[in-house]
A and B are shown apart, each in its own frame.
Chain A
Amino acid sequence: MVAVSGPVPGGMLDVLTGFISELRGAGLPVSLTENLDAMEAIQHIPMEDREAFKYALAATLVKSNAHWRAFETVFDVYFSLRGPQWSVDGEDGEASAEAQAAAAEAMADARRQGEGKGGGAMEGLSAEELAEILFKAMMRDDQAMTRAVARESVTRYAGMEPGRPVGGTYYLYRTLRNLDLEGLMKRLMEAAKEEADGGLTPLEERLLKDEYELRIDQLRKEVEAEIRRRLVADRGAEAMAKTLRKPLPENVDFMHATREELVQLRKAVAPLTRKLAVRLARKRRHGRKGPLDFRNTVRHSLSYGGVPAEPKFRYPRPSKPEIMVVADISGSVAAFARFTLHLVHAISSQFSKVRSFVFVDGIDEVTRFFEGVEDITEAIQRVNTEADVIWVDGHSDYGHAFEVFWERWGKEITPKTSVLLLGDARNNYHASQAWIVKEMRKKARHVFWLNPEPKSYWDTGDSIVGEYAAHCDGVFECRNLKQLEGFVEHLA
């Protein structure tokens, strides 16, 4: 098959095959067809245009925006070691020459003579002078200069030693701490204020701040890239690719997600609930046909000359799904709980009848906090401060929480209700009261349990998810977006 796709230069073929296996290693699904497409695509791309080369590979190999970042990292690492002819940003190309020129200019500023190449030119500078140059580069949005400073500061502050088994984040932290980005930001804003006669309006100030934040972010990325480049040079691309592998967004664990990852997860939740709504609605529409609709049949028979060839049926009246979400928000599942609340909020914006409850050892209804609330952070804030969920000591007690739930709201469960229970079922050795779940299932349409713990931890220690599972329509491990999606698929 490969032969058909034309004369791929031998070296190229190997390089590309290696690259694709690297991508697969990072978890990206690359099929054989896509592999062949990529081979074909790069033949149409002029070799010297690296940017186009990258886009051609991306267009054929990456079919989801969520995977783009993983692709970029693998691309940078993989091709950075294959000599200068492979590097996209022209490390030793013109960009660097530009940087040198800019550096030399800055040197003159600092009354120094700059020689040598790249960051080397800055060796003689003191820390203050370096900061000064960085400040100027930021003010002018001078990207070549920013890159040069990033390179120099990595040399200076990261303290990288060959063979030291430390991850890139450590070096990144050290470098950035020395650059004092917050102070830089403050200085930039002050300088901008001075520059503008008559002061800045709040709007202008805001716009400027956004602008500078972006530039500083750019600097951070440059530093990160530089560290990565050096690590690759030290340890080799293959080893680095492994350590740089971050889980793809859909595999990020809710419980251990970083703040940045959580933001991305939250964005992904909204479409998911829309999907859930669509699925449920479709199920209603495609459901069992109702009794014969005589009028409609006769009407349609006219197009067949009075022969009722196409019987028409009445559709059953669609019932509105009612959802009750009962979520554990105790400390052991705190990270998951925050995510859960987002999910609840997203669900309640899609369905008309959603009631939500949160519990630790006491339980409280929180539907009102989500109703008509646009700002989810505010709603979560209110749930955390106002909901009455502590009964005795603030350690989860599923048994008691369920008991109260059953007593107060149990009557409102109808055959139309789907009950979603969210929690790790770590009950601190209290009574399980599993009979309540059993009763719930008798009354409700479905009872589902979503557990944020890995399956292998279930029923270990004080986890009693097994006891409840016996009475649920399904218990699902729900640690990441992929599994949550799996659950949604299962519902339909």
Chain B
Amino acid sequence: MTDTKPIAGQTEARFTDIPSVRDALQSVDYLADEGIAGIVYLADRLGKPVLIEGPAGTGKTELAKSVARMTGARLIRLQCYEGLDESKALYEWNYKKQLLRIQAHRVVESEADGAAAAGDGATWQGIEEDIFSDDFLLTRPLLEAIRATDPVVLLIDEVDRVEVETEALLLELLSEYQVSIPELGTVVANQIPLVFLTSNNTRELSEALKRRCLYLHLDYPDLEREKQIVLTRIPDIGDHLADQIVRIVRSLRALELKKHPSVSETLDWARTLVLLGIENIGAEEATSTLHILLKYQSDITKAAKELSVAPNH
């Protein structure tokens, strides 16, 4: 299947092996585990987009950004929302400019008047060809990523927010790395960009989309990894404090809450505690700063209760 792809100048492999991906990600402060590094590596090798799913705040978008940073590529981002359409995702004709062009032509014509009447058909064709050319095309993120000549990483964020019907718009791009524009023909990618799609799993994505992607589920990191993340992102935190923080967060995630604390919230909390000059978290310190971790009053009450009472065996 790969050899049928009509891509001019097959993109060269970006990474040599999985550990090197991992190290490179580490160098831009993203701590990847085996699975994450493996998929980024495969995405490059197979030339396939990666669909990242998982709870909010586990570093889905961050992964795409980090890959961009690590490969030194430009990040092109398409934020999805309900009602997103072709003209905002792919391309649009700059109709104002087109109108101007036609008007300008009319002015010239009326000056020349009857003289040009004979060649009318030809000029019309000329105009038509003219106004549907590159100059009048407004590129939107997807087309931009395809036409880029410099290395790019394309991030299609929160793809679950668009309607099922709109998803179809992505399919051609994701499997063939090309975009068909009726008036212009098909634009084929100069290179295969790394593509990341993220989804918060608010709805099931269509089979067609999933089939075209590699799938990565990003869950909350385990204790060790989360601690490492805290230590990397907040250099002036003590080892003991970091350890306590991730343990408390893990306990909170085990509770039945409306929204569990995300990694970014863990980091916010850690930052706050460092700023407050707290070295050791007791029940009091924890409950008084819980609002940084949890965003619902009922969750906060529940967690405060749970944290200050000894468990019964």
Contacts and interface: CB of A to CB of B under 8 A. Distances in A.
Q: Do A and B bind each other?
A: yes
Interface string A58-100: 1110111100100000000000000000000000000000000
A178 interface: no
Interface in A29-56: 29, 31, 33-34, 36-37, 40-41, 44-46, 49, 51-52, 55-56
Given A37-B48, A211-B247, A201 B203 contact: no
A45 B37 CA distance: 12
A271 B204 CA distance: 10
B281 interface: yes
A275 B210 contact: no
Interface stretch (A114-122, A202-210, A401-409, A410-418): A202-210
B53 interface: yes
Nearest to B284: A203
Contacts of A185: 313
A45 B42 CA distance: 8
B2 A40 contact: yes
Interface string A269-288: 00100110010001000000
B50 to A, nearest CB: 8
Given A59-B216, A68-B217, A271-B202, A41 B34 contact: no
B296 A275 contact: no
Contacts of B216: 59
Nearest to B161: A278
B202 A5 contact: no
A196 interface: no
B3 interface: yes
Interface stretch (B84-92, B104-112, B304-312): B304-312
A202 B210 contact: no
Contact of B1 (A1, A34, A49, A51): A1
Contacts of A59: 35, 38-39, 42, 214-216
Interface string A173-209: 0000000000001100100000000000111011101
**Which size class do A's interface residues fall under?**
35 or more
Contact of B281 (A63, A203, A206): A203
Contact of A206 (B35, B53, B311): B311
Contacts of B306: 206
Contacts of B38: 45, 52, 55-56, 59
Interface string A238-280: 0000000000000000000000000000000001001100100
A20 to B, nearest CB: 14
Interface in B266-303: 281-283, 286, 296, 298-299, 302
A375 B303 CA distance: 13
Given A210-B254, A275-B203, A203 B298 contact: no
Nearest to B281: A203
Given A37-B46, A55-B35, A186-B313, A275 B283 contact: no
B74 interface: no
Contacts of A189: 313
A282 B163 contact: yes
A4 interface: yes
B248 A207 contact: yes
A36 B281 contact: no
A224 to B, nearest CB: 20
A374 interface: yes
A231 B254 CA distance: 32
Given A60-B214, A271-B201, A374-B258, A203 B282 contact: yes
Contacts of A46: 17-18
Nearest to B312: A209
A44 B311 CA distance: 49
Contacts of A206: 251, 306-307, 309-311
Contacts of B54: 65
A446 to B, nearest CB: 22
Contacts of A203: 248, 281-283, 286, 307-308
Interface string B1-45: 111000000000000011000000000000000110011011001
A271 B203 contact: yes
A201 B283 contact: yes
A210 B307 CA distance: 12
B211 A33 contact: yes
A59 B247 CA distance: 30
A62 B215 contact: yes
B69 interface: no
Contacts of B309: 202, 206
Contacts of B283: 201-203
Nearest to A278: B203
Interface string B200-229: 011110010011111111010000000000
A41 B40 CA distance: 12
B250 interface: yes
B215 A275 contact: no
A189 B313 CA distance: 9
Interface in A469-485: 485
A8 to B, nearest CB: 14
A440 to B, nearest CB: 31
A392 B281 CA distance: 57
A44 B282 contact: no
Contacts of A33: 211-212
A207 B211 contact: no
Contacts of B39: 55, 59
Contacts of B254: 210
Name, among B39, B45, B215, B282, the residue most crowded by chain A CB atoms within 10 Å (CB to CB). Answer: B215
Interface in B89-132: none
B203 A375 contact: no
A70 to B, nearest CB: 14
A257 B150 CA distance: 54
19 contacts: A4-B2, A5-B2, A29-B207, A34-B211, A40-B46, A41-B46, A55-B35, A63-B51, A63-B215, A65-B53, A189-B313, A202-B283, A202-B308, A202-B309, A203-B281, A203-B286, A203-B307, A210-B251, A374-B298
Given A210-B254, A271-B203, 13 more contacts: A5-B1, A33-B211, A40-B2, A41-B46, A55-B38, A59-B38, A63-B210, A202-B310, A203-B282, A206-B311, A207-B248, A210-B247, A271-B201
Across the A-B interface, give the 3 residue pairs with the lowest CB-CB distance, nearest first: A374-B298, A202-B310, A63-B210
